[in-house]
Amino acid sequence: MKASISCAFLSFLLQFSSCDRVKPKETHASNSAVHTSNATSANVFFERLFETSDGLSGLNLEKAYSYSMQISNATAYEGSQSLRIELRESDAEVAGGTRSELNLGHAQNKEQWYSFAVYFPAQYNTPDRAAEQIMQWHAVPDAGEEWRTPAKSLQIQNGRFIMKIGYNSQPISSASVPFEGEKQYDLGPVTTDAWQQFAFHVIHSYGSDGLVEVWKNGTKILEHRGGNSYNDTRLPYWKVGLYKWPWNGTGKTDVSTRVLYFDNIRQGTSAATLEEMTGKKITQPAPVSG
């Protein structure tokens, strides 16, 4: 249902408003990531565990500075290293926005699996009324279209995980009114000083056959059936990291820095299983400061 008062009318509240959409500022210069992998399963075609110094080689890195994205031994979901992501409100914009993200390329098929583990240091005990995005499937506009907000994204707002899913079946969609339908799901609170493992089984579609299933720490927490994509020629590309559009330009919010860690990032075929995508959950490590 469309809000009775538009976000545009509430522009002075945009950075804190629940109706705010991700600013559709994006470039297509770096969304064809090379799927190099050490995956052992035939059903898992991409895997990064960040256990070596070259853990970022072959990937498209959308980052402004050296501190934005680093291999770290401060904590790990498995093994001894993970990927540390840092974003500051003063960071220069990259690909049209304030971001530090891995661009992991287009979906190879309509149906796929995706997974990652993520760790939030204690700084996330300070919630922000303005949203930030830690994962998205971003569409590429067809001829005659503009860049639009992602149809599917996992965001954090007010200390909670928010899954946003929209769709548009029209051949040409607009950035100002991108969706025919849109839903928002509260997936629960962000837990700090602990690893949280997410897995997604997705059928990318703007029609009734669309599917988004989400597991957190091995427990299924969402099943969305129906449209979840734009009617575009190309399938969307997957990104993980941090994107905080309220910081674009000179924007400020309740916080000025965000740090988190990613590990065990995987993509799988339609034949993949939850076990193949997630592996074995391990004992939680000692907290890290940031």
Q: What is the pLDDT of residues 268-277, one digit of tens each?
A: 999 999 999 9
> What pLDDT was estimated at residue 230?
94
pTM, 2 dp:
0.86
Contact 22, 166 (CB under 8 A): no
- Based on C-alpha coordinates, what's the Rg of the chain? 18
> What pLDDT was estimated at residue 17?
41
Contact 274, 199 (CB under 8 A): yes
> What pLDDT was estimated at residue 18?
38
Ordered DSSP codes for the chain: ---SS-TTTTGGGTTT-TTPPPP----STT----------STTEEEEE---STTTTTTSEEE-SSGGGEEEESS--SSSS-EEEEEEETTSPPBTTBSEEEEEEEE-SSSEEEEEEEEE--GGGGS--SS-EEEEEEE----TT------SEEEEEETTEEEEEEEEB-SSS--SSS--SEEEEEEEEEPPSSSEEEEEEEEE--SSTT-EEEEEETTEEEEEEES--SB--SSPPEEEEEEE-GGGSTT---S-SEEEEEEEEEEEE-TT--HHHHH------------
**Rounded distance, CA 77 to CA 207, Å?**
36
The predicted-structure confidence for 220-269, as pLDDT tens digits, reads as follows 999 999 999 999 999 999 999 999 999 999 999 999 999 999 999 999 99
> What pLDDT was estimated at residue 286?
67
**Rounded distance, CA 69 to CA 62, Å?**
9
| Domain boundaries along the sequence of the chain | 40-275
Identify the architecture of domain 40-275 in CATH. Sandwich (2.60)
Number of CB atoms found within 10 A of residue 59's CB = 21
Contact 50, 81 (CB under 8 A): yes
The predicted-structure confidence for 140-185, as pLDDT tens digits, reads as follows 888 988 888 999 999 999 999 999 999 999 888 878 788 899 999 9
> What pLDDT was estimated at residue 11?
40
178-213: burial string, b at 16+ Cβ within 10 Å, e else: bbeebeebebeebbbbebbbbbbbbbbbbeeebbbb
Contact 159, 169 (CB under 8 A): no
> What pLDDT was estimated at residue 175?
81
**Rounded distance, CA 242 to CA 97, Å?**
11
Residues forming a β-bridge with 55:
none
**Rounded distance, CA 128 to CA 150, Å?**
21
| Residue at token pair 């007010």 | 158
Task: Take residue 43 and report the two structure tokens written for it.
Answer: 């059903």
Residue closest to 229 by CA, chosen among 244, 208, 215: 208
